[in-house]
Amino acid sequence: SQKIEQNSEALNIQEGKTATLTCNYTNYSPAYLQWYRQDPGRGPVFLLLIRENEKEKRKERLKVTFDTTLKQSLFHITASQPADSATYLCVAAMNTGFQKLVFGTGTRLLVSP
């Protein structure tokens, strides 16, 4: 079955540095990937969507890449701030008539002052 793999260990970085989160998929080809932010006790919040024919997408301090050869997406937060501390979910969307989303379990990011 289709799976999304994200590092289950928390990523600890210092304020001002760039955080890079990794998302890998294996034996399938998503039509696009989404990234969400989830805070404790809250629902996920949509951040970015990148399609298979797009190499890179940016939004303010966020950047997402999509490498179909490596079967990998990287999510970058530049000039990170303590307020960026949260769990980030990678989601793969299959193009099967009605889209099927496969959610990763998320990577927790901790940004220390």
Partner 1 sequence: NAGVTQTPKFRILKIGQSMTLQCAQDMNHNYMYWYRQDPGMGLKLIYYSVGAGITDKGEVPNGYNVSRSTTEDFPLRLELAAPSQTSVYFCASSYGVEEGYTFGSGTRLTVV
Q: Which residues bind partner 1 (CB under 8 A)?
A: 4, 8, 31-32, 34, 36, 41-47, 49, 89, 93, 98-106
| Residue 20 beta carbon to partner 1: minimum distance, rounded to whole angstroms | 21
Q: Which residues 6+ apart lie within 8 Å of 26 measured at CB?
A: 2, 3, 5, 71
| Residue 78 beta carbon to partner 1: minimum distance, rounded to whole angstroms | 21
Closer CB to partner 1, 69 or 98, in the complex: 98
Task: Report yes or no: 19 and 42 within 8 Å, Cβ to Cβ.
Answer: no
Closer CB to partner 1, 51 or 55, in the complex: 51
Q: What distance, in Å, lies between the first and last C-alpha atoms of the chain?
A: 41
Task: Report yes or no: 25 and 4 within 8 Å, Cβ to Cβ.
Answer: yes
| Residue 87 beta carbon to partner 1: minimum distance, rounded to whole angstroms | 11
Closer CB to partner 1, 30 or 112, in the complex: 30
Token representation of residue 9:
């260990």
